[in-house]
Structures are given as structure tokens and as C-alpha cells.
A and B are shown apart, each in its own frame.
Chain A
Amino acid sequence: MSKQTKFPMGIDSKKISGELFTLTYGALVAELLRDLESPLAVNRQLDKMGYNIGLRLADDLLAKNSQIHRCTDMHQVADVLAKVALRSYLGVTAQVSNWNARNDEFSLILESNPLAEFVEVPPELAQDLRQEPCAMIVNDSPGRDDSHYHKYSQILCGAIRGALEMMHMEVQTFIVQEHSQSVEIRVKFIRILQESVPPGDD
């Protein structure tokens, strides 16, 4: 089965399968926007789906990449996320930048966004994202109110959060800005989750 069948020129199975993912995601977002009344609810639903995916994706990633060792600080976590995780699941690598002084918060910058490959988010849904200047990065109060508008790639945030939770790290993730080409995701480390045995379960 590993033998590739003769393809007419220009058809790459791997690429198309990636497009299947992209298009499916696009159809899902469109459907959610129709189903749910506010873009905020759509973001929340996407985040939840991403979280569920992330929980399971973490297992898969560690099973297939035995070279990943235990990470002892956030720099290593960021490296694994940017170089291994995003590459193996989305086919892109990300830049890690904008570390804060305490080294517990960083940005992942995806140069190209595979999820939004064929997508144009209508301006009335994406307004906020275009007007906000990048200076927002400096302001890192957690309760910031920037989620009134639809975030197309919100599922990525959920996935990162879910995957890191499987690694006992509680993080906050949100999209700082997304244009059609690049996405910037902010990841903030909150705390290590302690392993707790459920009562009565020795």
C-alpha cells in the first residue's frame, strides 16, 4: 500500500489531505456561525473543540516523537510546540518571540496559517483584529476584553491549552492577532497542575 499510485501531474495526496482538513474546518466554522447567535459563542465552541483535540493530540505527539524529553522550563515547551507539534500536525513551523521578563509568557507566530488558506473572514466579523495595534502585546492583564469578535483560528488556542494540560501545565492562550497570512498566539504559563489521586483510589 505504501506504493504511491500514478498521479497525473500536479496532484499531491498529502497536500490534498491537508486541504481536506482545512476545508472541513472552514465548513465547520461557517456552520457554527450560522448555528450560534454570537461570534463569541462560536469562539467558545471552537476553543472547546480544540481543547478536546489537544488532550488527545498530546498523547499522539509523545508516542510518535520519542526524542522529546521532559521540559524543565517554558523555553523548552515553546520549542517543542513551535518546532515539533505545529510541524507535525499543521505542516508549518512557528517563530517564538516576545518573551516577557519573567520568562513565563511567549508568542507563537505562524507565518502562514494553514487553517485560513482559502478563507476570507468578512470585515464585520474581524474588525477588532485589524484596528488593534500590536502594542496590545505589552498589556497582559488576563481579563482583557478582546474577544467580542470572531477568531477564526481559535481552535489552535484550545488545542495548545489542552495538550499542555495533559503535560500538567495550566496555560492561558489567546490569539493576539490574525491576518489572512500570519497568526500570533500568546501562551501564558499559569501553574503546574499537581497530580492528585482521586479519593479512595490507592
Chain B
Amino acid sequence: MNSLVSGPCFPFEFLHAEIIQYEKQREAEQIEKRKNWIEQMRDNPQVEVSLLDEQLKSVKQVFIQGNAETRLEALGYRVGFVLVEKIAKDLPRMITELEKMKFLCKEFWTAVFGRQVDNLRTNHQGVYVVQDNKFFILNFAEGKQHVEKCAIYLAFPCGIVRGALYNLGITTLVTSSVENMPAVKFHVHMQQKS
């Protein structure tokens, strides 16, 4: 996508990489802190062992909520939430879920990620699969070489998609999967309204 590479938006990739770097670092720091804390508690004879185990469980829970991927996703959520307003502002109102998903795949995707999605599939029971064969964030590599490492690069876009859909009125859960490098599948699960 030429306009993406040379346009004013290009440094986004660098910024994104830096954010990931920061979140990873932070996660490592948190793990370190947690370790120290556990050590401290172990050394402290006054605390009962059973009590400690219980505490550990809750600490772990809190920690999982604060790991790098979750935080990146939350960051993306904020961005997607705002972006969709800008993009959908002049469009006619979308009523059905399918209309909203179509909007996401056409207008939103083109505006934000630079191209239309290649494939949108659904099982008509609230699960959609959005496929982009050349997702721009993963443009740096092809093939299966770096597949394991790329998960963290997709947390932010997942958040963007979730935020956008939320602001359109659907609560979703968005995950991604990669089999072959620049191609990404986003799985969008509709959540039941409570």
C-alpha cells in the first residue's frame, strides 16, 4: 500500500513498536516486583501458609489483567472508540449487526488500515471472521518464520476493532490468529446483551 508507506501516517509503525517495547518492559518489571513480593511474604514467618496461597491467587488474577497484551488491547480500544466516530459521522445510520460489520470491513478498515478486508465470514450465530491477507502492521515479514512473535503486534489492532464496534453499539470479543505472516484473521464474537 503505497499511500500508507509514504504518507504522514508512516511513523505509526515505529510508534507502535515503541509502545510494545514499553509494555513488554513494564510487564517484565511487574513480574520482577511480584517475585520480590512473594519472596518477602515467604520469608515472613507470621503469615500462615494457607492464607498466603489464597492471596497469591488474587495477586495472580490482578497480574493477568495488567499484562502487556491486555494493556495494549485496552489502548487500542480507546483509539478505536474515538476513530469510529470520526469515520461514521456522515454515514447513514446502521441498524443491523450485519450492516455494522460491513461498515467495519469496508469504510472503517480502509480508512484505518489502508485497505479493504479480503474476506468476511459468519456463522450467523454471532461469530464473524474478518480476514485481511496483507495486514499492514505485519508487513515487515512474510511466511511462518516469526509467527510466534507477532501475537503482541495484533493486540492493539484487536482493541481498535473492539472499540469501534462497541461505539457502534455491539459488545464483542475480538481475538486474532495468524497462520502465514501478513495474513491475519480477526475473530469477532458477539456478546449477549445483559
Expressed in whole angstroms, the minimum distance between the Cβ of B104 and any Cβ of chain A is: 14
- Complex Cα distance, B8 from A14, in Å, reads 8
A20 contacts B12, C-beta separation under 8 Å: yes
- B6 in contact with A88 (CB, 8 Å): yes
**CA separation between A90 and B9, bound complex, in Å?**
7
- Assuming the contacts A8-B107, A16-B86, asked whether A90 and B22 have C-beta atoms less than 8 A apart, the reply is no
CB contact under 8 A between A14 and B7, given known A1-B1, A28-B19: yes
Cα separation A28 to B156 with both chains bound (whole Å): 12
- Enumerate chain B residues within 8 angstroms of A19, measured Cβ to Cβ: 83, 86
Most B CB atoms within 10 A — which of A2, A17, A30, A60?
Answer: A17
Q: Is the interface of A mostly helix, strand, loop or mixed?
A: helix
Interface size on B, residues (CB 8 A): 39
Per-position 1/0 for A93-135, Cβ under 8 A of B: 0000000000000000000001000100000000000000000
B9 to chain A, nearest CB (A): 3
Instruction: Decide yes or no whether B179 CB sits under 8 A from chain A.
Output: no
CB–CB B112/A89 < 8 A: no
Do A57 and B14 have beta carbons less than 8 Å apart? yes
Complex Cα gap A14–B1 (Å): 11
Asked if B95 is at the interface of the complex by the 8 Å CB criterion, the answer is no
B residues less than 8 Å from A64 (CB atoms): 6
Known: A21-B12, A35-B26. A53 touches B90 (CB 8 A): no
Which 9 residue pairs of A and B lie closest in terms of their CB atoms, listed nearest first?
A: A17-B9, A91-B8, A16-B111, A49-B18, A53-B14, A21-B12, A23-B79, A27-B78, A10-B90
Chain B residues within 8 Å of A35, by CB = 26
Other-chain contact of B71, A7, A17, A30, A31 (Cβ < 8 Å): A31
Cβ-based interface call for B2 (8 A) = yes
| A35-B26, A57-B14 known; A18+B110 contact, CB < 8 A | no
- Asked if A25 lies at the interface with its beta carbon under 8 angstroms from chain B, I say yes
| B residues less than 8 Å from A28 (CB atoms) | 15, 19, 75
One digit per residue, 1 when the CB lies within 8 angstroms of any chain A CB and 0 when it does not, for chain B 7-47 equals 11111101110110110001000000000000000000000
Tally of contacts, chain A with chain B, CB under 8 A: 107
B8 touches A88 (CB 8 A): yes
Contact A16 B22, CB 8 Å, known A8-B107, A24-B15, A57-B11 = no
Could you say which of B4, B82, B115, B116 contacts A23, with CB atoms under 8 Å apart?
B82
A172 at the interface (CB under 8 A from B): no
Contacting residues, chain A, for B21 (C-beta < 8 A) = 49, 52
- Bound complex: CA of A89 vs CA of B5, how far in Å? 10
Say whether B7 contacts A53, CB under 8 Å. no
**Interchain nearest-CB distance for B81 vs A (Å):** 9
Chain A 28-55 per-residue mask, 1 if CB under 8 angstroms from chain B, else 0: 1011000100000000010001001100
**Out of A2, A11, A118, which one reaches B111, CB within 8 Å?**
A11
The answer to the question of B51 belonging to the interface, with a C-beta cut-off of 8 Å to chain A, is: no
What's the least CB distance linking B11 to chain A, in Å? 5
Closest chain A CB from B31 CB (angstroms): 16
Task: Let me know if B71 and A20 touch, CB within 8 A.
Answer: no
| Known contacts A20-B83, A31-B75; A14 and B9 CB within 8 A of each other | yes
Interface contact A20-B14, CB-CB below 8 Å: no
Name the one of B2, B16, B110 contacting A5, with C-beta atoms under 8 angstroms.
B110
- Among candidates B7, B75, B91, B116, residue contacting A18 with C-beta atoms closer than 8 Å: B7
- B111 vs chain A, min Cβ distance (A): 4
Cα distance, A56 to B15, chains bound together (Å) = 11
Q: Which residues of A contact B86 (CB under 8 A)?
A: 16, 19
